[in-house]
Chain A
Amino acid sequence: MGQVLDRVPSTRRGQVVTLTGAAIAWIGLYWLNEHVWDWLLYGALGLHSTDRVTETIHFFLYDTAKITLLLIGIIFVVTVLRSFMSVERTRALLGGKREGVGNVMAAALGVITPFCSCSAVPAFIGFVAAGVPLGVTMSFLIASPMVNEIAIGMLFSLFGLKVTIVYIAAGLVVAIVAGWILGRVHAERWVEPFVFETRLGGQAIDPAAGLTMDQRIQMGVEEVATILRKIWPYLLVGIGLGAVIHGWVPTDFFTTYAGPGSTFGVLIAVAIGIPLYSNAAGIMPMVQALYEKGLPMGTLLAFMMAVVALSLPEMILLRRVLKPQLLALFIAVVGTGIVAIGYLFNYLLA
């Protein structure tokens, strides 16, 4: 029929110019955000920076712009980089790997493989049917949502390198150990039988292969739009709560009630975090404000991990392939791991 693509792929030079222009615009906006609110609120409108309400509004406006800019930059870069990786490639890398080494590799690959929760079930079946051990598959499924690249980028921007490394290391350890334990207890009997009966077709194609740079950039732009459209209400509520906490909760309030020495702080944080379902990016402003008021980093990391790693929608999806016993064990093992991480880091980072 002789149909041709509407868009002729742009030249390499055109791509470089576009991306450089976008990067400069991003840096300019980020810089502007540092100054524009002072100018607007205190200069043009003549409000006083000592006034608490004004200060709260300032915090809200500044943080909304800052977090949005960070998200746009991070999601775009992460999506373009991740488009070189795929679940299919990960499975090929994990095929034939034994437990132990396999768990470590699966957890690491879980971090860099592009993955949405709606692909959890096909990936699970695909891995198990291809002979990847169940425990190794679970390490992948735990690490994938828990150590999220967007969360890594946000943590690094807001809290610095040390906290970021701690977060990545802690998430990997939980995924490796939890997967290894689930492999040890011979959980195969708690997997829905149809998983083992599923025949894999032979014509799988690798979505990461054969994409043009133009398509990868396009994917990055679309992913930014999709995620922002999905999380903006959570983001605004999160930043709003963050602004209120920032302006109105007395300093060291949490140190008194949930400081590093607190017995139940981490447990309560994880218990609150499990039913909460949010993108890691959506809860970051709140985490930042809570940290400012003396809530220890271990408790906050535990809270974040509970929110992103154990969510009701994902549990409902996984129920299709896991029997209730294994699902309960999965939640218990991951939950315990997160609590342990929380206490450990409260102790280490105190």
Chain B
Amino acid sequence: MIIKVLGPGCTNCKNLERVTKEAVAELGIDARIEKVEDYAEIMGYGVMSTPALVIDETVVSSGRVPKVAEVRALISAAAPA
């Protein structure tokens, strides 16, 4: 699983990265977390409100920092059964 945190490096982007790392650690799954800071690449996902969370190339959240529990649920929902 590849999880991407989209954002130019603002405070909220860093918060989302931290939350995502926590969620992945809690789930104990094998996931790679990548930061995407390039504007053209961010726009490629159609995202205008940063920070955004992308799981396996699907945008699952944008414009806010979800709680750890919510990110965990998003990851679980995206994981192949």
| A interface, CB within 8 angstroms of B | 1-7, 86-88, 91, 114, 116, 118-119, 121-123, 125-126, 129, 194, 197-205, 207-208, 218-219, 222, 226, 317, 320-321
Contacts and interface: CB of A to CB of B under 8 A. Distances in A.
Interface of B: 7-13, 27, 39-40, 42-50, 58-65, 67, 69-70, 72-73, 76, 79, 81
Overall SS of chain A's interface: loop
Given A3-B73, A194-B40, A114 B63 contact: yes
Contact of A122 (B11, B39, B64): B39
Given A87-B48, A203-B45, A118 B61 contact: no
Contacts of A123: 48-49
A219 B45 CA distance: 24
Contacts, number: 103
Contacts of B10: 116, 118
Contacts of B61: 205, 207
B79 to A, nearest CB: 6
Overall SS of chain B's interface: mixed
Contacts of B72: 3
Contacts of B11: 118, 226
B39 A121 contact: yes
7 contacts: A1-B27, A7-B69, A91-B48, A118-B13, A129-B43, A199-B44, A204-B45
A97 to B, nearest CB: 17
B48 to A, nearest CB: 4
